[in-house]
Structure formats: structure tokens, C-alpha cells
């Protein structure tokens, strides 16, 4: 019966809605990049230039990616140096994809009871208690040591020059000004990020002016300390990797760590020296699925990456190409599949290194995906989609079946607080929360190295850790305090919060095919799923797929702030035809439109026939790429 319905809807709507070629063949707002030797793409033009500079000096893709990571962290491109780094790396020497887990952990004392006793419904969004341990310095140093070819001094040179002073772009300068009231509360953030602040002149601009030389002397000193540690180790006769390890030790156990911990605790935070010393970067095996002959890789369930694989497993049961690009049937199918996968994310995802063990085998089972596909109502939006039971498709019993029965799309805390009080408790709006966080980085070279990174954390408004110049993460807010929401994602010391950060990579016939990532929060795997389908199902090139119209669901629970959900809310690009919008409204959707909906996607598509690379950076934000 359901098959008949979906075919009927598909045939009806596909006959009147626009087709894929009409969009795929349009002129893009940015040109596609073509490279033979290398491609470097990230969130800001200056940072992409840093990557290009490293390539021009003979570095490989990992060297260039690390330089871009350092530059974007220095520019506060929705992250700071105390944030977290997540990456996928293709190693051409071993022909394998490697996951890099450089997400910080909850510090000593960060428990459900600690936050509940302070009256929090969720861990705080901002401030010293929102901080997990810094991950980006360790992630950069481990990636460079294990897979790069250059020295730390060479790779950090562009970032150090920027920390000494660079002309700040308008978007970030204005962002600092918008957050002036919060930044002024933190003694080490105020002088750096509000250099013109005067308490007796509240109407005067406090943040840097666009184009002004923005200086961070304390951050520059911290970066130079890392380079000095490397140099001293080399002088002592240690090898390249050992010398970079010396820089790692200075950050997490030496004088930098001591100042960071002193200042965090001075400002009311919890991070200890033991927290920093015990934290480790993990090199992992990513999870993957096969979709129409393409191997798709994501980081596992300490981030939301597997939701894209779950959605692909569900969607392969439908004929998406026959539905037609962005018809009502296609949009409805995407929305339902994404919400089924995200409901599982909201309940089952957490840190795999802490019990209880998450049911990732069942979640990625093709049989489980088929059972979820059969739940789709093809005539209307299901506003009450719940997590499934993946334990039926792997060994073991569901230890939280009682909580699963109680689960609701709207967080219990929202109901308990009342909608008005719930809204007043938020620092970020729902709109900001869904789009918040991270930049993205893509790099590839002619030798076959490929890297996709989504670093984040320590964005404005950030607490700066004393005289280190390092802005702290706000990732504690991605934990929940109510086990009814997610019993796998409750805070405890040493544990990682389930984050949104989700680079992507795909192989075809054993060779790199796609490398892709996007800025944003809970929109990330929605955008990346659609980018992937644009290429694989509808034949778009990297730039076309990056700029193409996306849909956004707000039905899943936000990973930030108060974790709100809005069932049935659907965002479309404003050129979606009226007849498609009419049919979607008839199916129960609450529609809104925007001029751009793709998210700031960055991507590389590999053309092995011609030995070239196609780069894309969508027109959503300031993302920029350079290729040669």
C-alpha cells in the first residue's frame, strides 16, 4: 500500500515540478576551481591563501590543511584555538581513510549533579563552565606529525604573522561588536576582542573596525612558544615527530597549560592540569556505508556523522532520480529520511569510549534502514517521529527501552519550563543554534593525500584563557542533563559531548571521489547529504552541487542551548516553485524561504580520467578556494 502511494505521489509531482538539468546547468555564482597539483579551500580568503602558501613551499595536503586550521583559528572564523578539530584523511600510501578525533572532554567536576544543583536545565551555552578541554592544538600537532612533511615552524608561520596583526574582515569585527556585553564580562576577552571599549562611552564602537589591524600579541607569544619547543627538541637531536611532540607537551603539560588552567579557574571554570595531561588525540577507523557503488565515510557517533550514512541507507530504498530534483515527493522523502536518522542521533549517539556502548552496528544496518523506510507516511509529514530500536538488528537487548517509550520530539525541559521561560533562557536563538559553529577545510595534492576537516569551538563570544590568548570551547552545551533525552550523552569527567562536527569523504573503485564538509550546526549533515545526492544522483559538478538549493528540517533536537525541536518546520530556497510549496503545505509542512539555503559547503571532486581535481566553495558565506 505504501509503495503504491509513494509511486503515485512521485508520478504526480514529478510531472509538474522542475527537473534537475534546469538547475544543474545554470551558471553558478562562483566558478568551479580546477587544479592539477593541489587544491586548498576553507572559510576565509586569507586562510585559503595560507594553505596555498604552504603548497607553494612544497608542503603536502596535510601541511596545507594544518596551516589553514591555524589561520582560521587565529581569525576566530567561528572557532578559536581552544576549540576542537575533527578530520578525515585519505592516506595514499596505505589506501585507507583515517579518522582524527580531537574533541575535548568534560573537565573534572562536570557532572549531571553539578549542573543540576546550579539550576541548569542544560549545561551553559557560553562562559567558563561551557568549556571542554582544548582539542585543536593537539589535533593540528598530531596530524602534522603523523601525516605532514613540514616543520611546525613553517606551518604556523602564516598564523603567527596574522596574530601579530592582520586586517580584520567586517563580518567578524561586527560579530565582536554584537557580543560586546558578554565579552566585556570576561577579563581576558575584553582587551583582545574589544580594544576600543570605554565604560563611560557605551555608544562608541568597542570592537575593531573593519579593515583595522587586529592584534593578538598573547596568542602570538603562545604560538611562538610551540615553535620554540620544536626548535629546542631539534637542537637536542630529536627527530621531526619527536620535536612536534615536544610542542604538544608544552601546550598540555607545560607553562601554557599552567596559565590556561590558572585563568580558567580564576574565571569560574573547572579545567585542571590533570584534565589537560590525560587528554589524547585519537586516530580512529571511521564508519562507512555503500551507496550505489560509492563508499561514504564519516566519523563515528561521538559526532553526528553517522546520520548521513543512516539517511543514505534509508533513501536507497527509494528511486530519487525518478522523483526529480526538489519535487514535492523528493523533498518529502528527504525530510522524512533525515528526521528518522536524526531521531536516532538524538537518543543513541555519544562518546564510544564511555559506557554504555552505543548500538552503532544496528543503526548502520541496511535491514534496520529498510524497517525505518517502511515507517514513512507518504501523504503527510510525521511530526512525531521517534528513535527506532536498532538492537533488533544486532546482538544484545536495548538497555533503555523504558526511556525510549517516554521519548518525545519536544525536550521535557521545554515543557517543564514553559515556552516563554524556555525562550528567555536561551542566549542563541533557534536560528543561530542550528547554523552555529565551525568552519571547514579541504585540501588535496597530486600525490593523493586528501583531508577534510570541520574544526569548531571557541567562537565569539569566547572566554579567553588568561595570557595564553586562547579562546575556550563552548562544547559542554552539547551534553544533556536529562537521560530521557539521550542516556548516552550525559556529562562526566573525561567524556566527550556528542558534537555536530562532521567532515565527509567518499571513495569510488577504491580511489578518492569526494571530499566535502560544511559550516553550521545541526544543518551540517542535512547540507552534506544533499550535496552528495546532487553529485551522485543528479550529475552536478562540485560548484553546482555546493550552490544548489537545499532544504532544512528543524524537526530534530538542536545540539545547542536548550536543544529545542520544531516538528514540521521546513526551509526552502525562495526559487522553489509555488506548486511545489503548495503540495508541501498540503502535506502538513510549515514553510519558510530564503535566498540561499546550501550552507557554506566546501568540496573537492576527483576526476581520475583526466588526473585533475574540481573544487567548490558555495556562495552562502565567505568560503574561498585556491587551486593550481
Give me the DSSP letters along 567-590.
TTEEEEETTS-HHHHHHHHHTT-E
For residue 171, tell me if it sits in a domain.
no
- Contact indicator for 343, 284 with CB cutoff of 8 Å: no
State the pLDDT at residue 520. Answer: 86
Indicate the angle between helix axes 45-56 and 152-164, nearest 10 degrees.
150
Task: Report the C-alpha gap between 433 and 522 in whole angstroms.
Answer: 8
| Residue 182 located in a structural domain | no
For residues 297 and 505, is the Cβ–Cβ distance under 8 A? yes
pLDDT of the residue at 438: 65
pLDDT of residue 15: 36
Quote the pLDDT of residue 21. Answer: 41
Residue 439: the pLDDT is: 85
Task: Give the Cα separation of 477 and 562 in Å (integer).
Answer: 8
For helices 328-348 and 366-373, angle between their N-to-C axes, nearest 10 degrees: 120
Residue 411 inside a domain? The answer is: yes
- Asked if residue 394 belongs to a domain, the reply is yes
Give pLDDT, residue 25: 46
Whether the ω angle into residue 356 lies within 30 degrees of 0, i.e. cis, is yes
Helix (H, G, I), strand (E, B) or coil at 367: helix
In a domain, 296, yes or no: yes
Q: Decide if 199 is inside a domain.
A: no
Instruction: Tell me what pLDDT residue 7 has.
Output: 38
Q: What percent of the chain has pLDDT over 90?
A: 85
Residue that is written with C-alpha cell 511545489 in the block:
580
For 256, half-sphere exposure in the C-beta direction (CA atoms, 13 angstrom radius) is: 31
Assigned domain for 572 exists: yes
Q: What is the pLDDT of residue 22?
A: 43
* pLDDT score for 419: 45
450-453 β-sheet, strand order: 282-284, 96-102, 85-91, 450-453, 441-445, 38-42, 624-627
Please report, rounded to a whole number, the percentage of residues in the chain having pLDDT higher than 70: 91
Q: 249 is written with which cell numbers?
A: 607537551
Q: What is the DSSP letter of 18?
A: P
Q: What pTM was estimated for this model as a whole?
A: 0.93
> Could you report the per-residue pLDDT of 80-97, keeping only the tens digit for each?
999 999 999 999 999 999
Question: Is residue 517 within 8 Å of 502, Cβ to Cβ?
Answer: yes
Element (H, E) at 53: helix 45-56
Per-residue CA distances from 90 to 36, 98, 119, 195, 515 (Å): 18, 6, 45, 42, 9
Instruction: Give me the sheet containing 552-553, strands edge to edge.
Output: 552-553, 569-573, 590-594
On the question of a cis peptide bond just before residue 617, with omega within 30 degrees of 0, the verdict is: no
Residue 55 included in any domain: yes
User: In angstroms, rounded to a whole number, what is the distance separating the alpha carbons of residues 396 and 399?
Assistant: 9
Which class for 345: exposed (0-12), middle (13-18), buried (19 or more C-beta within 10 A)?
A: buried
- Report helix, strand and coil shares of the chain as percent, to nearest 5: 40, 15, 45
Residues of the chain with pLDDT under 50: 1-25, 418-426, 430, 433-435
Determine the structural domain holding residue 112 and report its residue range. 1-165+215-628
Q: How far apart are the first and last CA of the chain?
A: 54
- How large is the angle between the packed helices 240-253 and 136-147, nearest 10 degrees? 170
Tally of CA atoms within 13 A in the half-sphere of 234 that contains its CB: 13
What is the tally of structural domains in the chain? 1
Amino acid at each position: 500500500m505504501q509503495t503504491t502511494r509513494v509511486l503515485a505521489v512521485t508520478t504526480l509531482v514529478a510531472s509538474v515540478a522542475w527537473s534537475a538539468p534546469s538547475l544543474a546547468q545554470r551558471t553558478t555564482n562562483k566558478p568551479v576551481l580546477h587544479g592539477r597539483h593541489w587544491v586548498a579551500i576553507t572559510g576565509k580568503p586569507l586562510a585559503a591563501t595560507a594553505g596555498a602558501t604552504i603548497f607553494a613551499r612544497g608542503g603536502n595536503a596535510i601541511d596545507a590543511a594544518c596551516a589553514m586550521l591555524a589561520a582560521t583559528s587565529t581569525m576566530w572564523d567561528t572557532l578559536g584555538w581552544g576549540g576542537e578539530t575533527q578530520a578525515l584523511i585519505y592516506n595514499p600510501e596505505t589506501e585507507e581513510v583515517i579518522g582524527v578525533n580531537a574533541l575535548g572532554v568534560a573537565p573534572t567536576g562536570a557532572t549531571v549533579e553539578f549542573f543540576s544543583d546550579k539550576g541548569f536545565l542544560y549545561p551553559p551555552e557560553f562562559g567558563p563552565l561551557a568549556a571542554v578541554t582544548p582539542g585543536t592544538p593537539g589535533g593540528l600537532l598530531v596530524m602534522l606529525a603523523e601525516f605532514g612533511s613540514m616543520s611546525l615552524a613553517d606551518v604556523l608561520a602564516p598564523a603567527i604573522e596574522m596574530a601579530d596583526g592582520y586586517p580584520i574582515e567586517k563580518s567578524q569585527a561586527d560579530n565582536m561588536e554584537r557580543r560586546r556585553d558578554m565579552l566585556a564580562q570576561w577579563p581576558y576577552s575584553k582587551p583582545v576582542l574589544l580594544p576600543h571599549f570605554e565604560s563611560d562611552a557605551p555608544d562608541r564602537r568597542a570592537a575593531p573596525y573593519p579593515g583595522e589591524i587586529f592584534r593578538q600579541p598573547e596568542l602570538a607569544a603562545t604560538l611562538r612558544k610551540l615553535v620554540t619547543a620544536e626548535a629546542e627538541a631539534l637542537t637536542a637531536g630529536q627527530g621531526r615527530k619527536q620535536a612536534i611532540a615536544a610542542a604538544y607537551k608544552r601546550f598540555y603539560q607545560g607553562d601554557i597549560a599552567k596559565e590556561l588552567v590558572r585563568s580558567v579557574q580564576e574565571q569560574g571554570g573547572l579545567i585542571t592540569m590533570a584534565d589537560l595531561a590525560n587528554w589524547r588525540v585519537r586516530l580512529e577507523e571511521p564508519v562507512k556505508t555503500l551507496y550505489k557503488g560509492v563508499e561514504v565515510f564519516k566519523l563515528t557517533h561521538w559526532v553526528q556523522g553517522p546520520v548521513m550514512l543512516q539517511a543514505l541507507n534509508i533513501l536507497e530504498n527509494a528511486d530519487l532520480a525518478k522523483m526529480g530534483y526538489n519535487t514535492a515527493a523528493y523533498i518529502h522523502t528527504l525530510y522524512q529520511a533525515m528526521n528518522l536518522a536524526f531521531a536516532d542521533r538524538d537518543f543513541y549517539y555519544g562518546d564510544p569510549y564511555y559506557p554504555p556502548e552505543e548500538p552503532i552496528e544496528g543503526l548502520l544496518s541496511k535491514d534496520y534502514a529498510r524497517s525505518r523506510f517502511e515507517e514513512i507516511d507518504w501523504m503527510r509529514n510525521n511530526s512525531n517521529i521517534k528513535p527506532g530500536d536498532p538492537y533488533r538488528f544486532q546482538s544484545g537487548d536495548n538497555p533503555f527501552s523504558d526511556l525510549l517509550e517516554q521519548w518525545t520530539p519536544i525536550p521535557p525541559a521545554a515543557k517543564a519550563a514553559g515556552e516563554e521561560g524556555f525562550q528567555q533562557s536561551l542566549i542563541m536563538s533557534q536560528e543561530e543554534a542550528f547554523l552555529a559553529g565551525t568552519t571547514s577545510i579541504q585540501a588535496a595534492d597530486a600525490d593523493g593525500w586528501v583531508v577534510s576537516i570541520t574544526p569548531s569551538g571557541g567562537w565569539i563570544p569566547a572566554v579567553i584563557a588568561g595570557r595564553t590568548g586562547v579562546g575556550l570551547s563552548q562544547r559542554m552545551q552539547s551534553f544533556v542533563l536529562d537521560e530521557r533525552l539521550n542516556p548516552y550523552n550525559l556529562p562526566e569527567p573525561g567524556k566527550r559531548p556528542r558534537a555536530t562536527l562532521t567532515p565527509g569523504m567518499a571513495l569510488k573503485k577504491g580511489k578518492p571521489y569526494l571530499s566535502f564538509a560544511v559550516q553550521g550546526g545541526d544543518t551540517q549533515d542535512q547540507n552534506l547529504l544533499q550535496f552528495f545526492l546532487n553529485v551522485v544522483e543528479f550529475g552536478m559538478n562540485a560548484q553546482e552541487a555546493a550552490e544548489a538549493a537545499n532544504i532544512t528540517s528543524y524537526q530534530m533536537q538542536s545540539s545547542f542551548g536548550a536543544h529545542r525541536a520544531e516538528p514540521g518546520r521546513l526551509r526552502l530556497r525562495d526559487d522553489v516553485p509555488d506548486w511545489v510549496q503548495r503540495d508541501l503545505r498540503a502535506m502538513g509542512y510549515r514553510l519558510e524561504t530564503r535566498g540561499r539555503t546550501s550552507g557554506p559547503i566546501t568540496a573537492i571532486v576527483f576526476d581520475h580520467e583526466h588526473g585533475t581535481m574540481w573544487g567548490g566553495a558555495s556562495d552562502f558565506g565567505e568560503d574561498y578556494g585556491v587551486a593550481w
